[in-house]
Amino acid sequence: MSNGKRSKRSGTGLGPGNGAAVPRGMILIGVALILGVLLLWKGIDGPTSDVAGSSSSSPTTTVAEADSAEDESSGGEGDESGLLDITGETTTSTTTTLFPPTPPAEVQVLVANGSGIAGGAGTVTDMLIPRGYTTLPAANANVTELTGIYFRTGMSEEARAIQEYLAPDLPYVLLQMSDIPEVPDSTADRVEQADVVIILGSDGVILSE
């Protein structure tokens, strides 16, 4: 009898112990799951934030490069020349004359009088000497109404300078040497030597009474 009672008590004593262990196990499993989720979340969150950080810095670099390219293409608002080389230094452009005008001392000028005014060629010759031109002795021309300043090929600018001095605002008096009218034989030799020939006419463009 005593053996049966002991068995029942011992069996009853084991029941409460097993029942309390089950909730503890569930709690430990839950805590383990929560820790695992937290560790997994932190492991994923680290690279993601780095990627986001690197991508957030890219727009800043792109904008700066775009601004720099725009500044170079526009030449800068405050730059007067508007020309920039690749180093950002301001450059200027210059125009060079391929054939600068011949110095007056190297230009031979002949004045021939066809105006009918006595001493006209000498008067105009004296006007040219202070300007530095090399003048040939004054000559006679056949009487003509029209005044002309005739120049050889390559001497157009030199003839224009003389025209602007003697007949301002009258560029029509400038003519090619091939258009020069016939001159007396005594004048022909000097015409051959001259770079510019001025024939005075009665129109008074250069010389009048």
What pLDDT digit, counting tens, does each position of 93-152 carry? 555 556 678 999 999 999 999 999 999 999 999 999 999 999 999 999 999 999 999 999
Residue that is last in its domain, among 63, 94, 125: 94
Domain boundary among 94, 126, 157: 94
Residue 29 is predicted with a pLDDT of 84
Total structural domains in the chain? 2
* Alpha helix segments (H runs only) across 75-193: 120-128, 156-166, 185-193
Is the distance from CB of 169 to CB of 153 less than 8 angstroms?
no
pLDDT at residue number 92: 58
Are the beta carbons of 160 and 104 closer than 8 angstroms?
no
User: To the nearest whole percent, how much of the chain has pLDDT over 90?
Assistant: 50
Q: Which of 207, 187, 208 is nearest to 197 (CA)?
A: 187
Q: Please state, rounded to an integer, the average pLDDT across all residues of the chain.
A: 77
- Is residue 80 located within the same domain as residue 153? no
Does the residue 112 lie in any domain? yes
Average of per-residue pLDDT across 5-33: 63
Give the pLDDT of residue 56. Answer: 46
Residue 48, domain member (yes or no) = yes
- Both 159 and 140 in one domain: the answer is yes
Q: What is the mean pLDDT of residues 45-49?
A: 51
- Say yes or no to pLDDT of 158 above 60: yes
Q: Say if 207 falls within a structural domain.
A: no
DSSP strand pairing (108-113 vs 174-176): unpaired
Q: What is the pTM of this model?
A: 0.54
Mean pLDDT of 79-95: 52
**Nearest residue to 173 (alpha-carbon basis) of 192, 195, 209, 198:** 198
Rounded CA separation 81/185 (Å): 59
- Domain extent, residue 165, equals 104-200
